[in-house]
Amino acid sequence: MNPSTVYFTTLRTQIGYGLLDKTRKLFEVSGFGKRIAAGDKVAVKLHFGEAGNVAFLAPPFARVIVDEIRKAGGKPFLIDTNTLYKGSRSNAVDHIETAMHNGFSFATIGAPVIIGDGLTGRDYVRQEVNGKHFAKVKIASGFHYADAVVNLTHFTGHELFGFGGVLKGLGMGCAAPSGKQEMHSDVLPSVKEAKCVKCGRCFDWCPVGAIEWEPGRAASIIKEKCIGCGECVVACNYGAISVQWQTDPAITQEKTAEYAAGALRSKRGKGLFYSFLLNVSPDCDCYGFNDPPFAADAGILVSFDPVAIDQAGVDIVNGAQGLEGSKLSDLDAGDKLFSVTGIHWEPILAHAEELGLGSRKYDLVEIP
């Protein structure tokens, strides 16, 4: 497969040419505006951030994209989907309120906020993918029926993917909750009793009551109830809960690549992907907190290829300066994402390439 072009801009700025100008410039350089037909409904897919998290993408970046889509003749709207776990985004009412509290509303961004899978996550379309894991996937109808997409990804580490990038944001982020559950169904964490300090934090955190615990006793996971969301892995401050990283996350990653393929099928080439390598925290923005970034801010990427842009993001973050005071203990680690998350990040990229979503080879073109 031929290399794909990934545009990259550094974070260096000057008077009259700040990061928002650079974001706009990347949009212009990509030529995506010419792919938007008059009246196209263009989904600006992003993550509004869980309540309490402050690492998510700053709203002004979305405002720039909304303005560019309007200039091109499109009708932009902001979109995300309901979550599988409880929290501040598991139904459309809470989700829109959270988005508003975090700065995403018509008043601030200039476009409506739509929760793509409806009030309770039941509004989806079955899209054929004929993949290794799924014949059909459940894509939020608000995303499926959009004519085009501009995906804005805040690049992070992730406890099941190694990194949270464009493919994960499309696959997991455009699925209805029942689709999210299908993707997570092979993940079964376990508790290392010797490490467990019996604090009960995971018991309080689990969204479905799948953890057995009582004061003075180590926690254990009830296999039959667990939905594989991975929340307890992050909740445990003592590293006592882990997933079988050799197998379980790899399958979830492959399934998510198939969901990403399903999400993009209806877009017929009308997709532009941004990846913001800023504030690269160890966990994704789904948590109501954010640990400090572990790698230095690097820049902003744009591509038409969701695989190439994620591979470039991984390579750049792994090669960036490790940051003291972060979760990264070996600041010179070659694979910082693995070092921080303990998860191999390749399966999603490899399977997405197999599915024809794009190429892991890329040419990085710097835009001043």
Site of interaction with ligand SF4 (CB under 6 A): 189, 191, 196-202, 206, 208, 210-211, 213, 218-219, 221, 226-232, 235-236, 238, 240-241
Question: Which CB, 74 or 189, lies closer to ligand SF4?
Answer: 189
Q: Using DSSP bridges, classify how beta strands 190-191 and 211-212 pair: parallel, antiparallel or unpaired.
A: unpaired
Q: Least CB distance from residue 208 to ligand SF4, whole Å?
A: 5
Q: Least CB distance from residue 101 to ligand SF4, whole Å?
A: 25
Q: List the structure tokens of 310.
A: 């994620």
Helix residue ranges per DSSP H, the chain: 19-30, 59-71, 92-101, 106-109, 141-144, 166-171, 177-184, 201-205, 231-235, 248-265, 306-319, 336-341, 346-354
Question: Which CB, 152 or 227, lies closer to ligand SF4?
Answer: 227
How many other CB atoms are found less than 10 A from the CB of residue 65?
26
Please give the distance of CA 196 from its chain centroid, rounded to a whole number: 30
Question: Which CB, 25 or 184, lies closer to ligand SF4?
Answer: 184
Q: Least CB distance from residue 259 to ligand SF4, whole Å?
A: 19
Q: Least CB distance from residue 252 to ligand SF4, whole Å?
A: 11
**SS3 assignment, position 301:** strand
Question: Which CB, 219 or 277, lies closer to ligand SF4?
Answer: 219
Q: Least CB distance from residue 172 to ligand SF4, whole Å?
A: 14
Name the strand (E) or helix (H) holding 157. strand 156-158
Q: Least CB distance from residue 20 to ligand SF4, whole Å?
A: 38
Question: Which CB, 34 or 223, lies closer to ligand SF4?
Answer: 223
Q: Distances in Å between the alpha carbon of 211 and those of 86, 232, 247, 275, 322? A: 15, 9, 22, 35, 35
Q: Least CB distance from residue 314 to ligand SF4, whole Å?
A: 25
Axis crossing angle, helix 306-319 with helix 346-354, rounded to the nearest 10: 160
Q: How far apart are CA 117 and CA 2, in angstroms?
A: 36
Q: How far apart are CA 332 and CA 214, in angstroms?
A: 41
Q: What is the 3-state secondary structure (H, E, C) of 32-53?
A: HHHHCCCCCEEEEECCCCCCCC
* 264 DSSP assignment: H
Question: Which CB, 23 or 83, lies closer to ligand SF4?
Answer: 83
Question: Which CB, 218 or 364, lies closer to ligand SF4?
Answer: 218
Q: CA angle, 172 as apex, 180 and 29 as ends, to 5°?
A: 165
Residue 221: name the closest of 212, 209, 233 by CA.
Answer: 212
Question: Which CB, 55 or 243, lies closer to ligand SF4?
Answer: 243
Question: Which CB, 283 or 310, lies closer to ligand SF4?
Answer: 283
Q: Least CB distance from residue 195 to ligand SF4, whole Å?
A: 7
Q: Least CB distance from residue 283 to ligand SF4, whole Å?
A: 14
Name the strand (E) or helix (H) holding 126. strand 124-128
